[in-house]
Amino acid sequence: MPSKAAVTSRLSFFNLLPCVIVITLFCLAIPLILLTIGITKRDDCQADPRIPKWMIVVAVLMLIERFIGSVNTIKDRRFIRENPKPVFEEDGDNHALIDWTQRRKHNKSSVFAVLGAFIRLVQFITFILGCVYVFGIYSISDQCNPLVFWTSFIYCLLSIIFYIIGACVLGCVCCCVALMNDSFAQ
């Protein structure tokens, strides 16, 4: 009979499953939309012909990044399924838990982690280039197919918003960690 922790873990996964599915579909829909529009309208932006090509590159990078991220996620899920997490013991003998954590960390592919980081860096650079391209033709956007322009414009705008939110969250986390370290040091 499975332990209570294993049953609770599986139930919590099933509670999160709809959110995971929606987020996955959303994360796949964006690159597929960019890819489809970039390919079908690749010659429909006289204001800056680089924009449809940029849409294709961004979409391909997003799909590659999702694939690379999925590899380690699948490996981690398989590891957890085959190696249940040991229970935390309050008496201080947690060698099994420490060993399990180290084996889980080593189970992930460092090659895929480095490759994923590199792809995210390239994505950020192409995002900046895309913003320069798209915002640079704003005044002459009527010379570009509206679907190409507005899709890329909205993508750039939403990306800027998410990068700002991410930077704010990262700043808050760093401040909280600094404050916690300061309070522990005293």
Distance CA 142, CA 146 (A): 7
Distance CA 39, CA 57 (A): 10
Distance CA 165, CA 62 (A): 20
Tokens of 154: 């909205």
pLDDT tens-place string over residues 92-148: 677 877 888 888 888 887 888 899 999 999 999 999 999 999 999 999 999 999 999
**Residue 118 · residue 104 · CB < 8 Å:** no
* Cα 38-39-41 angle, rounded to 5 deg: 70
Distance CA 104, CA 94 (A): 15
Distance CA 66, CA 24 (A): 9
Handedness of CA 73, 78, 80, 81 (dihedral sign): positive
pLDDT tens-place string over residues 50-91: 999 999 999 999 999 988 888 888 888 888 888 888 777 776
63 contacts: CB under 8 Å, gap ≥ 6: 28, 31, 35
Tell me the domain boundaries of the chain.
Answer: 4-83+101-185
Longest CA–CA span in the chain (Å) reads 71
pTM for this prediction: 0.76
Please tell me the predicted confidence (pLDDT) of residue 125.
96
